[in-house]
Amino acid sequence: MLPSMAASWAFLSCVVYGMANPFEATDAVAIGRAASADPAWLKVVGGLPTELLLAGLGGGVGAGLRVWLRSIAARKMHGTWRVTLGVNALGSILIGVLAAPLVDAPMVRMLLVPGVLGGFTTFSGFALDAVIAIDERRWWRTVTIVLGTLVGCPLLCLAVLRGAGS
């Protein structure tokens, strides 16, 4: 959860300071340099920043895909916690696959990474599934959900990113 919070903070800081590519901010130095950068990311469409529109459009598509998969799986298996874990794992892999190649295409990256894949994956669904498993006293399911999401998903993303870098 802490890496996710750090990434969110870095992203929001870049938006506030006007960094052209919000994914470049990995530390306070990069954010400080961004303060003097030309706010090229503030291209506006219909009064809204383009990135906001792209992430929102992509998020709607991603969330729709997740709901569609969940509805299909609900008919075929008991409980949808496996779908949530699977969606988060698949999203982590796809983010690992797309993150590096899209560095030079910030608009496409905005649409796909925080947009489509951000809407497709679900932290709130994970939290609800974990709470339901705890409430039902299904301890192995709880451990599977929590470790699978908080340890497994970042490791999948890291493995794909490291594989793409070699």
DSSP 68-112: HHHHHHHHHSS-SHHHHHHHHHHHHHHHHHHHTTTTT-HHHHHII
Q: What pLDDT is recorded for position 114?
A: 92
Q: Residue ranges of the domains in the chain?
A: 1-42, 50-165
The model's pLDDT over 44-94, given as tens digits with 9 standing for 90+, comes to 666 678 888 999 999 999 999 999 988 888 777 766 788 899 999 999 999
Q: Could you tell me the pTM of the whole model? A: 0.68
Q: Produce one character per residue of 101-137: b if its CB has 16 or more CB atoms within 10 Å, e if not.
A: ebeeebeebbbbbbbbbbbbbbeebbeebbebbeeee
Q: How would you classify the pairing of strands 44-45 and 48-49? A: antiparallel
Q: What pLDDT is recorded for position 4?
A: 43
Q: What are the phi and psi torsion angles at 18 (to 5°)?
A: 80, 35
Mean of pLDDT over the chain: 78
SS3 121: coil
Q: Closest Cα partner for 7 from 15, 111, 49, 54? A: 15
Is residue 96 within 8 A of residue 161, CB to CB? The reply is yes
Please give the torsion angle defined by the CA atoms of residues 114, 116, 117 and 121, in that order, rounded to the nearest 10 degrees: 110
